[in-house]
Chains A and B, each alone.
Chain A
Amino acid sequence: TQLLEQSPQFLSIQEGENLTVYCNSSSVFSSLQWYRQEPGEGPVLLVTVVTGGEVKKLKRLTFQFGDARKDSSLHITAAQPGDTGLYLCAGNAGNNRKLIWGLGTSLAVNP
């Protein structure tokens, strides 16, 4: 069974702090997506990473795909209250087209 483990499960920090959340698996993925879900809304795609070792930046968010395409990380610099939400990673194993989802990291950024 393919699994994606996200850590930490919960994170509560002060505005201005930096943080990193992780998405790990023993399986290889052809691509990995990161989504953010705010309360009462559906997940919104942040980024898709495809190439091993790839780094993508979205303003204060930096996403990295592991060299072996088994893991990924999301680093947020100088977190803002607007970054609060559930961060989900989803891996695409390729053939069967089902996305494998992690349980998410619930982030709270306090002003």
Chain B
Amino acid sequence: KAGVTQTPRYLIKTRGQQVTLSCSPISGHRSVSWYQQTPGQGLQFLFEYFSETQRNKGNFPGRFSGRQFSNSRSEMNVSTLELGDSALYLCASSVGLTGYNSPLHFGNGTRLTVT
């Protein structure tokens, strides 16, 4: 069974640009969650999508948005990039909504560098 696939693995962008990251979940998983990981802040929850609907959202500005398609694939968009957006962006899929009975399966992330 293929794992969670994130593309691209690495991105270098300039301040003010926008970026789209992609995530393909494990087959049969309907929930996709996005996280930002930095050394100082650890894993910060961005949002969770289930059946094409955003079900939960973290405390990030509106520049961060996402969507989920009918095949459960998800994309995350960051507009007007800032230096502080440099981070590892992780996508995780699960069978159901996040909870103890639906563990997360992570991809290997997209490393975004904003210059």
Contacts and interface: CB of A to CB of B under 8 A. Distances in A.
Interface of A: 30-31, 33, 35, 40-45, 48, 50, 88, 90, 92, 96-99, 101-104
Nearest to A43: B106
Contacts of A88: 42-43
Given A42-B109, A98-B56, A98-B58, A30 B97 contact: no
A30 B108 CA distance: 28
Interface string B78-92: 000000000000101
Contacts of A104: 42
Contact of B100 (A48, A96, A98, A102): A48
Contact of B42 (A42, A98, A102): A102
Interface of B: 4, 41-45, 48, 55-56, 58, 90, 92, 97-100, 103-109
A91 to B, nearest CB: 10
A41 B108 contact: yes
15 contacts: A31-B100, A33-B103, A35-B106, A42-B109, A43-B43, A45-B105, A50-B100, A92-B100, A97-B56, A98-B58, A99-B45, A101-B44, A101-B45, A103-B41, A103-B42
B101 to A, nearest CB: 8
Nearest to A92: B100
Contacts of B98: 92, 97-99
Contact of B4 (A42, A96, A97, A101): A42
A104 B41 CA distance: 10
Chain A CB within 10 Å, residue with most, of B44, B55, B104, B108: B104
Nearest to A31: B100
Contact of A33 (B45, B55, B58, B100): B100
Nearest to A50: B100
Contacts of B107: 42
Nearest to A106: B39
Given A101-B45, A104-B42, 20 more contacts: A31-B100, A33-B103, A33-B104, A41-B108, A42-B106, A42-B109, A43-B90, A44-B106, A45-B103, A45-B104, A45-B105, A48-B103, A92-B98, A92-B99, A97-B97, A97-B98, A98-B45, A98-B56, A98-B98, A101-B42
